Amino acid sequence: MIMKKIDISANISGIQLPLCMMNASGVLCSTDQELSNLLNSSSGGVVTKSCTYKPRKGNVLPRYFEWNIGSINSMGLPNLGINFYLNFLERKNINKPIFLSISGLSSEENYFLIQKANQSSKVTAIELNLSCPNLLEKEDMLGYDFYKISSFIENIFKFNKKPLGIKLPPYFQDAHIKNIAFILNQFPIFFVTCINSLPNGLFIDTNKESVVIRPKKGFGGIGGSIIKPFALANIHKFYTYLRKDISIIGCGGISSGEDIFEHILCGASAVQIGTQFMKEGISVFERLKKELTFVLEKKNYSSINSFKGRLKNFQ
């Protein structure tokens, strides 16, 4: 019996990934060693740590905690600055797409960072992070400000020539997803990544009767398996409302091949792994690759395009 070859590569608006999964920005992608590990792994692409103009130490420790079904963090964008990431890429032989994640602390800083990214031939695409919930300097995420976001993106496309995607926060109302999709549909955006961690969560150590992270009095972004239903809902809604040439990168709650299958069934073209990558390390991509292939074999699908976005309503 000849086994049918299963194709689990991905296409993100023309950007070809050998495997439909990669790391989520923020997790084990900050340093030379971490990025080198990703380049040498079976991950389909590499997403850098969200960078700012100058290096940042981030928030005080402890700022990350995980439990069996989730994680909480208030990292505060620790990163080595955009020059480090661009210089790292210049020194390396690149064998897969590179997504430079950018998260300036102001609109002006974001414009500057995007201009710098445009000068690098090693950057395949820019992932503009409009959804970091853990900064102490600013309380409002641009991803929730529908008035500002439109003119902000319009200004970017006056000079940006690189493929650009937007990392979005979670939305909890259909009207909000419809509104943001309406705005994004007006621009030549390549992809959206959804969702970032759920903001303003709290986890308590009952023995100590205390919060578990120090910044922001214990409040932080929630990730891990516990947020998967919100990720799937956002992906499916955006798949409904976005132009079909805007790809969706699903992120949130992935720890198995079956989880990836669900993200793609809801409309994702590829996925990012965050909390589970933090728990398991670089071997997570090889394990998930095997598990996803097994799911497709069992269901007799030959590629992810065979079922992408084909979630059925209740019969």
pLDDT band at residue 2 under the 50/70/90 scheme: very low
SS3 138: coil
Please report, as a single letter, which amino acid is at residue 88.
Answer: F
The dihedral formed by the CA atoms of 315, 292, 96 and 152, expressed in degrees to the nearest 10: 30
pLDDT at position 136, please? Answer: 53
Q: In the prediction, which pLDDT does 146 show?
A: 87
Look at residues 26, 27, 61 and name the one whose alpha carbon lies nearest to residue 213.
61
Contact present, 12 and 191 (Cβ < 8 Å): yes
What is the rounded distance in angstroms from the CA atom of residue 253 to the CA atom of residue 256?
9
Percent of the chain with pLDDT over 90: 93
Mean pLDDT of 225-246: 98
Q: What is the pLDDT of residue 135?
A: 61
Mean pLDDT, rounded, for 19-44: 97
The H or E element spanning position 32 is: helix 32-39
Cis upstream peptide for 188 (omega within 30°): no
Angle, nearest 10°, between helix axes 228-241 and 257-265?
Answer: 30
Looking at residue 315, its pLDDT comes to: 80
d(CA 281, CA 288): 12
Question: Do residues 224 and 239 lie in contact, with contact meaning Cβ atoms separated by under 8 Å?
Answer: no
Mean pLDDT of 207-216: 97
Tokens encoding 224: 């891990």
Active-site amino acid positions = 132
Q: For position 132, what pLDDT does the model report? A: 76
- pLDDT confidence tier of residue 3, bands split at 50, 70 and 90: low
pLDDT given at position 140: 63
- Torsion region of 88: left, alpha or beta (phi above 0 gives left; psi -120 to 50 gives alpha): alpha
Distance CA 124, CA 101 (A): 11
Alpha-carbon span 42 to 38, nearest angstrom: 8
Residues 6+ apart with CB under 8 A from 233: none
**Nearest by Cα to 289 from 2, 9, 3, 16:** 9
Helix (H) or strand (E) holding 250: strand 247-251
